[in-house]
Amino acid sequence: MVLDFVMPTPLGSSWGLGGTCVNVGCIPKKLMHQAALLGQALQDSRKFGWQFTEEVKHNWMTMTEAVQNYIGSLNWGYRVALREKNVTYENAYGEFVGPHTVKATNKRGVAKLYTAERFLIATGERPRYLGIPGDKEYCISSDDLFSLPYCPGKTLVVGASYVALECAGFLAGLGLDVTVMVRSILLRGFDQDMANKIGEYMEEHGINFIREFVPIKVEQIEEGTPGRLKVIAKSTKGNQIIEGEYNTVLLAIGRDACTRKIGLDKVGVKINEKTGKIPVNDEEQTNVPYIYAIGDILQDKLELTPVAIQAGRLLVRRLYAGATSKCDYVNVPTTVFTPLEYGACGYSEETAVEKFGEENIEVYHSHFWPLEWTVPSRDNNKCYAKIICNIQDNERIIGFHVLGPNAGEITQGFAAAIKCGLTKEQLDSTVGIHPVCAEIFTTLSVTKRSGENILQAGC
């Protein structure tokens, strides 16, 4: 049996079966990122000989309707798949009420009790609010953005998470005036060398950054779709106050685990009181033996949909098919779909230094210029490739990082090799495919500690 229920956002947004990724995460995000890339491709196309005189402009409603129609088809597909597998689906809110017992309450308030031998918690997270005047009344989150029934107009994105930067990126790519308000660093938890390069690229492409400020109040100046809002913000370094006017304020300051209102205290499941995250052993088992947990709600684990899927698949095989494989939470590839995409697998440079010692790692790196960008003559030496090697282990590659187009496609392929123990020597002996971006990884020769020039002049 599956219990699935979406608590509407403060503005009333809700969605169907499939969780965050499908409805308000990876899927609509990637599609809107693609819409922005197509805008750039239109500009590039003139240099490749395409001639068009009609003014090119973007229609928000056409895009959101098409994206929501596709998501709707996925929601239906999941319902059909559950039915074909004879899985009972209840659109109801589940909470533990006693040992081996949950109460499921539907949207009409009708409750049922169910018992089971085992339970799997996969409730995920929801966007955090600031706790300031006007935040829930006037601001939106990523839970609202992808089905917003009007173009957001001039937008302030609050936060520096990958959600914040991805949304800021595609909104700017669609031609909107976008500002990002950052409390401290970009992309906390990611390689900071790469994060700062992403920030620089976004600023160079017209996205404004207000650094070391946090909003303290949001006021409505004028109702509308969009309306007008005044944001009052305070410096994190002193008492300076600034004000700004925007049509939309998008909060992307982090997400909170949905674990505090599902009756875990009734069955004794321990959570981290500060974060709400659930500690589990290496088999995704909580401190209560018959209750398991996967996904973003796990303490000290990656918050990525494919990781949750993999962990869930392996858990079920261990429980019911006699398998023994456990989920690998280290060599996990991921991509941040900012305007300049960032793909990564393995350790960040900071974590590698911390774990292995600076003297025991070698970092090889280089800028590169995608051939497709040479004719329009844009963004030379903005793309960047970096690998981190463990000197003590035959220069085994323990960190892989790339900034450039199609970063996800590049990273996915290398991730398999990294799981197999790829070394720098093996990478060097691999013949590159010419002329593609990923080819750069077969010719990396400059180490970071050498300080030598890594700028590229051509293909």
- 437's CB contacts (< 8 A; 6+ apart) are 368, 370, 383, 402, 404, 405, 406, 410
Name the band, by pLDDT with cuts 50, 70 and 90, for residue 54.
confident
CA angle 356, 285, 125 (to 5 degrees): 80
Report in angstroms the alpha-carbon separations of 393 from 329, 360, 416, 441. 20, 9, 18, 19
Residue 443 to residue 276: CA distance in whole angstroms: 45
Of 347, 448, 336, which Cα lies nearest the Cα of 399?
A: 347
Residue 401, pLDDT score = 98
Round the average pLDDT of the chain to a whole number and report it.
Answer: 97
Nearest residue to 226 (alpha-carbon basis) of 171, 302, 299: 171
365 is catalytic: no
pLDDT band, very low/low/confident/very high, at 458 (cuts 50, 70, 90): low
What DSSP character marks residue 311? Answer: H
Q: How far is CA 104 from CA 59, 338, 453, in A?
A: 41, 39, 62
Is the pTM higher than 0.85? The answer reads yes
Q: How many CB atoms lie within 10 A of CB 281?
A: 10
In this predicted structure, the answer to whether residue 45 has a pLDDT above a threshold of 60 is yes
Please report the pLDDT score of residue 295 as a whole number.
Answer: 97
- Listed in sequence order, the DSSP H helices in 269-327 are 305-320
Over residues 178-188, the pLDDT tens digits come to 999 999 999 99
Residue ranges of alpha helices (H) inside 177-304 are: 192-204, 264-267
Q: How far is CA 12 from CA 8, 108, 219, 249, in A?
A: 5, 16, 20, 16
- What is the rounded radius of gyration, in angstroms, for the C-alpha atoms of the chain? 24
CA–CA dist 42, 65 (Å, integer):
22
pLDDT of 190-234, one tens digit each? 999 999 999 999 999 999 999 999 999 999 999 999 999 999 999
At residue 459, the pLDDT reads 54
pLDDT bracket for residue 456 (50, 70, 90): confident
Query: What pLDDT score does 55 carry?
Result: 86
Tokens representing residue 258 in the block:
């949905």
Per DSSP, 55 falls in state P
Residue 252 has pLDDT above 90, yes or no: yes
Q: Which of 33, 205, 367, 434 is catalytic?
A: 434
pLDDT (tens digit, 9 = 90+) per residue, 301-319? Answer: 999 999 999 999 999 999 9
Is the four-CA dihedral 57, 140, 163, 293 of positive or negative sign?
negative
Structure tokens at 175: 């031609």
Instruction: Give the three-class secondary structure for 139.
Output: coil
Name the maximum alpha-carbon separation found in the chain. 69
Instruction: Give the per-residue pLDDT at 297.
Output: 98
pLDDT higher than 70, residue 57: yes
Please list, in sequence order, all residues whose beta carbon lies within 8 angstroms of the beta carbon of residue 43, skipping any fewer than 6 positions away: 376
Rounded to an integer, the average pLDDT of 81-106 is 97
Phi, then psi, of 310 in degrees rounded to 5: -65, -45
pLDDT of residue 412: 98
pLDDT of 453 higher than 80: yes
Report the amino acid identity of residue 348.
Answer: S
Mean pLDDT to the nearest integer, 131-149: 98
